[in-house]
Every structure is written in structure tokens, then in C-alpha cells.
Structure 1
Amino acid sequence: MQSPTFEISIGTNMDGMHLIAIPMEIAKPFVEKKHKRVRVVASFEDRSIEIYAALLKRNNAYFMMFGKKNQKALGIFPNDYFQLQLFEDTSKYGVAVPEEFDAVMLSDYDAYNIFEGLTDGKKRGIIYMITRYKNSQTKIDKTLLLCENLKRGIRDNKELLKPF
């Protein structure tokens, strides 16, 4: 399932959050099939990025967050118009998983089972924490640390990547 490509710009709400209003005719097919999360391809000039996002409903309208990190990666400013296309999210966690994370988690059965027992949002948050590291070895090291901390009973995101 995918939407047609459409043109959009970023707005901000009173809280200063960077939101994209998704036209109802684009959001409706996803909502009707109970897809709360989508894979998104955003394009501007010669740049393109792929992200995962939640379809948020507010006052009978649908939105998705599009933070400054994504704006910078795409090279846009809040007044710029750019192209967006939504796809059904077929990922396991609703986010792209670094292969280093996957490999380490699959090598530690106990940590993997603990991780799988967490809420979907908690799992995504942890994966995002690992994703922010650019260096492959750092991702491996942080995931190993994460595994040990999960097995030690630590569940606070602020503590999960701290050495013990």
C-alpha cells in the first residue's frame, strides 16, 4: 500500500512542534486499514530521505512530526514545499533497525527476550538511541552495553547505555 506523491510544507503548532498536515484523502486509506505508523519518503530538489512516522489524529485531521534533524537532512526550511509519499510500514518495530543492533541482539537470547517484552514505543526509543551513532563499532559496543543493562534489570532509557 502506498500513497501518491504529494507536495507539502511544514507547520508548527503552539508547542513549537514541527508538524506536517497530511491531507485526508492521503491519510484515509492508511487509517481505514488500521495503519498507525507509516514509512515515509520525503524529497526536495536532489535529496531524498526515508523515515518512519506515526499518523497522529487531532481534531479530525491527521499529522506527522517532521523534526529539525529530518529538515536538515532534506535541506529544507519551514516555508519550503517538498514532496512526500507514504507507504505501509512493514517493518518489525516501526523504525529502520541498524544491522549491528540486529546482529548483537540475535547473539544474546536473554537480552533479546527482555527487549521483545518491552512496549513497542520503548523498543523504538531504544533503537533510535543506537541509530544516532554513526560509527559501526560504536553501535555494536552500545548494543552490547544495552544487552547487559537489560539483563541487569535497567529499564530507564537514560541509564540503558551507561557503563556499569
Structure 2
Amino acid sequence: MKFQAKINSFGENNLGHGPYIEIPKEVYNELLPNTIDKRIKCTLNNLTTISRAMAPKGNFNYILLNKDVLKEIKVTIGDIVLVELQPDKSKYGMPISEEMEEVLFSDPDGSDLFHRLTPGVQRTLIHVISKYKSSNLKIERSFVILEHLKKNKGKLDFKLLQEDFKNQRNNMKF
């Protein structure tokens, strides 16, 4: 479904602050029954496709963007963009790196614990890994996540996970 939308911004004191696009009601109502957890793929100006959730706010629904996306398509708050939305039918509701998939495949116990996490937490961890450009870092950090889950009996503690990342980095220094 294609439409044009203005890039707006929530004030900094609101939950979910930052740039966003309002979804027309008819588009939202048509897409919603075809989505899993309101997950969609959003293509902006035919330049970039991002995975997002359709979120409610008062009497409308929106897609939250970020500065990196705006920079990538060379637009700013107030600009009009071409938006194409389609249901995201992928396993996790967002792309997962090959490296992380391979680590999950190679560690069945860790994979089992990862898949017991809520879909939102899984997406957060996938996002953490996808931020790295280096394939080696993606692999190392994926292993750290699975070891963290095993060490904590399937519980995720982001503060402790950051320490685990730091400890892994320190142990790698020669």
C-alpha cells in the first residue's frame, strides 16, 4: 500500500519521541489483519526499507523513524515522503544477520533459550547484533548473548549483558 506522508516529530517529553509518519486509517485497517504483532516493512522514497511496528497514539497510528533513516533518504522533519507498507511475514519481524542465524544453529541449547524470549526481546537482541559491521563482531557478540542466557537460566539482564560484552572484549586483548 502506497501513500504520501509528512514526517512529523513527537516532543522530547513524550514516550516514543522522535520522527514519525502517521498511517492513514484506511491503510492501517487494511494492513492490520495481515500482520503479525502489527509488524510491517516500510519503504521510504523507494530508497530504503525498514522493519517497524505500527504503533497507536491517541486517535491515530504511526511508524517511528530515527535520525539515521532520515539521513539515509536525505529528508528532515516536515518533508513529504513516499511510503510503501507491506506486512512483515519474516520469522522475527525484522531481518536477522547470517552470522547470528549461524550461531543460533550451532548452539541448540542457547537457541532454545533465545526462542523462549518474547518476540520483542528477540528483535532487540537481533538489532544489537545487526548494528555491527564486522562479521567477526556479529559472531562473537551472538555467542556472548547465548552464553549470557545459559549462564542466567534463560533470563536476560541488559546491564549484565553489557558487562559480558565488555569482559569478552577485554579477554580478546593480547
TM-score by length of 1: 0.88
Answer yes or no: is 1:29 the counterpart of 2:26. Answer: no
The 8 Å contact of residues 38 and 88 in structure 1, kept in 2 or not, is answered as yes
Quote the Cα distance in structure 1 between the aligned partners of 2:48 and 2:157: 30
Partner of 1:68: 67
Give the C-alpha shift of residue 158 in structure 1: 3.4
Q: Which amino acid aligns with 1:39?
A: K
The structural deviation recorded for 1:61 is 1.3
Give the secondary structure class of the aligned counterpart of 1:10: strand
SS in 2 for 1:158: helix
User: RMSD of the alignment, in Å?
Assistant: 1.7
Q: Give aligned pairs, total.
A: 158
> What is aligned with 1:13?
10
1:141 aligns to 2:143 (yes or no): no
Higher-helix-fraction structure: 2
Q: What amino acid is aligned across from residue 71 of structure 1 in structure 2?
A: L
Segments of 5+ residues of structure 1 without an aligned counterpart are none
Which moves more between the two structures, 151-160 or 54-63? 151-160
- Whether contact under 8 Å (1:42, 1:49) holds in the other structure is yes
Residue 66 to residue 108, structure 1, CA distance change in 2 (3 Å): same
Written as runs of structure 1 = structure 2, the 5 A alignment for 1:112-127 is 112-127=111-126
Query: How many angstroms apart in 1 are the aligned matches of 2:102 and 2:7?
Result: 36
1:97-146 Cα deviation digits (max 9, x unpaired):
01110001110000000000001111010000001101111111111111
Whether the 8 Å contact between 1:150 and 1:160 is mirrored in structure 2 is no
Give the corresponding residue for 2:87: 88
What CA distance in whole angstroms lies between the structure 1 residues aligned with 2:5 and 2:81?
Answer: 6
* Percent of paired sites with the same residue: 28
Deviation track 1:45-70 (CA, whole Å, cap 9, x = no partner) reads xxx11111111122231111011121
Matched with 1:152 is 151
Shift of 1:149: 1.2
Q: Which stretches of structure 1, 4 residues or longer, exceed 3 Å deviation after superposition? A: 32-35
